[in-house]
Amino acid sequence: MLKNNSWILYAALLVLFWGVWGAFSSLPTTLYGYPDEMVYIIWAFTMLIPCFFALRGVKFDRRPIAAFYGLIVGIAGAGGQLLLFQALSVGPAYLIFPIISLSPAITVLMAMAFLRERLRLLAIVGLIAALASLVLFNISQGSDDVSTGPWLILAILICVAWGVQAYFMKKAASVGVNDGTTFGYMTLSGLLLIPVAIIMMGGIPLDFPWQAPALTAGTQVLNAIGALFLVMALSRGKASIVAPTTNALAPVLTIILSLILYQTLPTVYAVIGIVLALVGSTLMVYSDEKKSEGLRPVGKVPTEDNADRR
């Protein structure tokens, strides 16, 4: 595999871990009524596991620029998660998630504007298909009873935060910040926001069986490992391709696993979304492959003199 396309491996691992996590992530809440804020707290601690491996044998980048980008990445990701809990408490999920799912569009626009990333026509078509699939995955037949709370503003803020997060992951890599350092700051940011989650709950609940936090930890560690692979994929590939591709393919795996495990048939919207996600991601990856092939240096044909020197 060409070095320029090494991002594909990490993107595939990201889709695997986030796809499996998506299929099981709601179990602690549906089975035990476990608060979302406790899910966040346990997720923040599970980030320490992949962080340990990410920093092994890697020198932690102590430059101010590394801390600046790292903390933006971490706070945008963790802060967006906490805002999501608040948005869902005052607004309809079937309208909130389609808005949030457009976060890769923010990443793409920022990457093209500030990193000068350019997409071929095939990649642009694939991008549009991938973004459309993300919206379709999150469309459901919800109630027409829409809350009058500030859920729309919160949803837009989350969308921007997660789009900005992916952009700055790529930006950090472009100035030489290693993956372990970026993920280390992400872990630190998640831990620093734990008190906010506790305040949102009004204290730590102690009346849940041990299965609730255990199941939460088991599912959220998949989320945490997937986040590390996102950092690794973005540091090696174009943000304008990695972000929409991974965000489109992970729900496909989640839907397939849900179909197998829970015997739930996907909606018409989900089926169309699966097709668009597969087509869109394929076009973007194919376009990136073709571009890399076009940049591959042509080897010189050895002359007789050169052959004798070997």
3-state helix/strand/coil string of the chain: CCHHHCHHHHHHHHHHHHHHHHHHCCHHHHHHCCCHHHHHHHHHHHCHHHHHHHHCCCCCCCCHHHHHHHHHHHHHHHHHHHHHHHHHHHCCHHHHHHHHCCHHHHHHHHHHHHCCCCCCHHHHHHHHHHHHHHHHHHCCCCCCCCCCCCHHHHHHHHHHHHHHHHHHHHHHHHCCCCHHHHHHHHHHHHHHCHHHHHHHHCCCCCCCCCHHHHHHHHHHHHHHHHHHHHHHHHHHCCHHHHHHHHHHHHHHHHHHHHHHHHCCCCCHHHHHHHHHHHHHHHHHHHHHHHHHHHHCCCCCCCCHHHHHHC
Query: Looking at the domain assignment, is residue 280 inside a domain?
Result: no
pLDDT of residue 197: 96
pLDDT of residue 286: 85
pLDDT cut 70: percent of the chain above it: 89
- The confidence band for 303, taking pLDDT boundaries of 50, 70 and 90, is very low
**Is 252 within the bounds of a domain?**
no
- Does some domain include residue 136? no
Reduce the DSSP state of residue 162 to 3 states and report it.
helix
pLDDT band of residue 154 (cuts 50, 70, 90) is very high
Q: What mean pLDDT is reported for the chain?
A: 88
pLDDT confidence of 70, banded at 50, 70, 90?
very high
Which pair of tokens denotes residue 18? 């986030």
Tell me the residue range of the domain where 218 lies.
3-121+145-242
Structure tokens at 185: 């700051």
Phi, psi of 79 (to 5 degrees): -65, -40
Query: Three-class SS of residue 21?
Result: helix
pLDDT digits (tens, 9 = 90+) for 100-115: 989 999 999 999 999 9
* CA 35 remoteness from chain centre: 22
Instruction: Give the span between the Cα atoms of 191 and 309, in whole angstroms.
Output: 60
256 in a structural domain? no
pLDDT (average), residues 262-268:
82
Structural domain count, the chain: 1
Q: How far is CA 298 from CA 112, 204, 237, 294, 295, in A?
A: 29, 62, 22, 10, 9
* pLDDT of 299: 47
In a domain, 161, yes or no: yes
Confidence of residue 307 (pLDDT cuts 50, 70, 90): very low
Q: Which of 143-157, 199-213, 277-291 has the highest mean predicted lDDT (pLDDT)? A: 199-213
Q: Report how far Cα 128 is from the mean position of its chain's Cα atoms.
A: 18
Neighbouring CB atoms inside 10 A of 199's CB total 10
In a domain, 46, yes or no: yes
Is 50 exceeded by the pLDDT of residue 298? no
Selected residue with higher pLDDT from 153 and 138? 153
Contact (Cβ atoms closer than 8 angstroms) between residue 123 and residue 287: yes
Could you report the per-residue pLDDT of 16-36, keeping only the tens digit for each?
Answer: 999 999 999 999 999 999 999
Residues 218-247 have a mean pLDDT of 96
Domain-embedded: residue 18: yes
Residue 286 lies in a domain: no
Tokens representing 89 are 């408490």
**pTM for this one?**
0.88
Give Cα 79 distance to the centre of its chain: 14
